[in-house]
Structure 1
Amino acid sequence: MKAQAGDWLVVESLHVGEPRRIGLVTRVDHTDGSPPYWVRWTDDDHESLFFPGPEAHIEQLEALYPSARR
């Protein structure tokens, strides 16, 4: 997985009925874009260092919100 600041991290739920989490990648400490990432979560607006697992993927802003522009 590779990301850059401004990408969106989507974490799919592992349990039926739970929503997926979406967070904005605010900082990437490795120049090659590898994890971990600093992420600001949209559900509670807190920022955390995140080590993505297999249920996580990176999306561009336009893929999540087609009417949005960077």
Structure 2
Amino acid sequence: MQADIGDRLHVHGNVVGQPDRMGRIIEVRGEAGGPPYVVRFDDGHEGMVYPGPDCVIEPREGVSH
């Protein structure tokens, strides 16, 4: 998984009824765009994320990886 600052992290809910979470990557701490990422979620919460198989990186508009 590779990301850049400004990309969106989409975490799919993995339990019935659990909503998806979306956030903007504000810091990349791994080498060559790898995890971990510091993410500011849409609800205002910030945290360090090691994305799992339930996560998708969505490039910021106008950029492709």
TM-score scaled to structure 2, two decimals? 0.86
Q: Is 1:24 equivalent to 2:11 in the alignment?
A: no
**Paired residues of 2:3 and 2:59 also in contact (CA < 8 A):** no
Q: Which amino acid letter does the alignment assign opposite residue 3 of structure 1?
A: A
- Identity percentage over the alignment? 44
**C-alpha separation in 1, matches of 2:44 and 2:7:** 16
* RMSD, matched Cα: 1.7
What does 1:25-40 correspond to in 2, within 5 Å? 25-40=25-40
**C-alpha separation in 1, matches of 2:51 and 2:30:** 14
Would you say how many aligned residue pairs link Structure 1 and Structure 2? Answer: 63
Q: 1:31, CA displacement in angstroms? A: 4.1
Gaps of 5+ in 2: none
* SS of aligned partner of 2:48: strand
TM-score scaled to structure 1, two decimals? 0.80
What does 1:2-13 correspond to in 2, within 5 Å? 2-13=2-13
* SS of aligned partner of 2:33: coil
Partner of 1:46: 45
Deviations 1:12-70 (A, max 9, x none): 0101111100010000023400000000000x2021111111000100244xxxxxx7x
4+ residue runs over 4 A deviation: none
